Structure 1
Amino acid sequence: MASHFFTPSPTPTATGDAVYVATVPLKASPGPPQLIMSMAYSLNLWKLQHFMVLIKPSSPIPQEVIVFDFQPRNPESIEAAISVLSGNLIPGVVLARRLKNVPRQRCWMVGSSKGNAMEMAIEFNNSWETDLRVGFHDCRHYTNELVQHLTGEIQILERLPRS
């Protein structure tokens, strides 16, 4: 298999918004399941992490960062855990929220949007199928496809550093 090196763009273009990918621990029900997910994240087990797309508008006025992600509608429920483990479809949801700044860890700039990233992300999210199936249609697929829609970068998660 050929190895691809990821070289982030140093700055967004004058017309595009900065696009980032970030990762956080997968959510799980409290107790042992959450402890296992936290350990997997701290050990940097790539497939047991939750991926998100962040957009930082290229406005001269400082603005909040918008985070988009795709996850189970109720990620901490026992029913979701059982469905995920059995490979069944579960109801998913695309979320959007705000952050004051881009995270300093486990976050990579992947490029600049080809236009107004917020409008493009809303358009993309309106067409995204929300039935989630881990390994086939999950946060990794959402992140790859939204980044491709915004920047043209293909299969970005395959090229991110894993440490």
Structure 2
Amino acid sequence: MAFAALFSSPKPSPLLTTRENAKGRDAIYVAAVPLRAPRGPAQMLVSTAYSIGAWNLQHFMVIIKPSSPHPQAFVFDFQPQDPEDFYVMLSALFSGKVAGVVLKRSLKRIPKIRCWFVGFSNVNGVELANNFSEGWSTQLIVGKHDCRHYTNGFEKAKESVE
């Protein structure tokens, strides 16, 4: 869990380097967003829990900003195929297997909040993420094989090829 230490430390990450060292290398970030819930009572419960700070579950994603002059970044994340389905949520809460999917989307810019720089890739980060995602099992089990494991697994895959 290489990323977990980055989130809890108030000190700047030692992975941050100067622009000269970054030239020609893809920047890797991890972002977190609050979990979504199905509409209705479940959504109201989750919203209330977040507003009083009683529930701090996050959905983690890998963001890659290519070194090429492309103005966009790419987000890779692992989530349930239908994250707002009530029965999917129930199954996930009780550690049941849920059909998952790895999504790839583009962003115009890197988020300013809940987003952490974790390092640079010496190889093509988008290609690496595509290859990693193809081999990722899509059977999601919360706490055992979920977005956190996907994010940490990507970091291990990145380290193994560099």
Query: TM-score w.r.t. structure 2 length?
Result: 0.81
CA distance in 2, matches of 1:147, 1:93: 19
- 2:147 counterpart of 1:147: no
- Structure 2 CA distance for partners of 1:39 and 1:53, relative to 1, 3 Å: farther
* Gapped regions of structure 2 (runs ≥ 5): none
Q: Give the C-alpha shift of residue 62 in structure 1.
A: 4.1
- 2:16 counterpart of 1:9: yes
Q: Give the C-alpha shift of residue 27 in structure 1.
A: 1.6
- 2:134 counterpart of 1:126: yes
- Structure 2 CA distance for partners of 1:32 and 1:10, relative to 1, 3 Å: farther
* Gapped regions of structure 1 (runs ≥ 5): 153-163
CA distance in 1, matches of 2:114, 2:90: 28
CA distance in 2, matches of 1:63, 1:44: 38
Are the equivalent residues in 2 in contact too, given 1:92–1:131 (CA < 8 A)? yes
Task: Spell out structure 1 runs of 4+ moving beyond 4 A.
Answer: 3-6, 39-42
Match of 2:103 in 1: 95
Match of 1:108 in 2: 116
How many residues matched? 148
Query: TM-score w.r.t. structure 1 length?
Result: 0.81
Match of 1:26 in 2: 35
Match of 2:63 in 1: 54
- Structure 2 CA distance for partners of 1:110 and 1:83, relative to 1, 3 Å: same
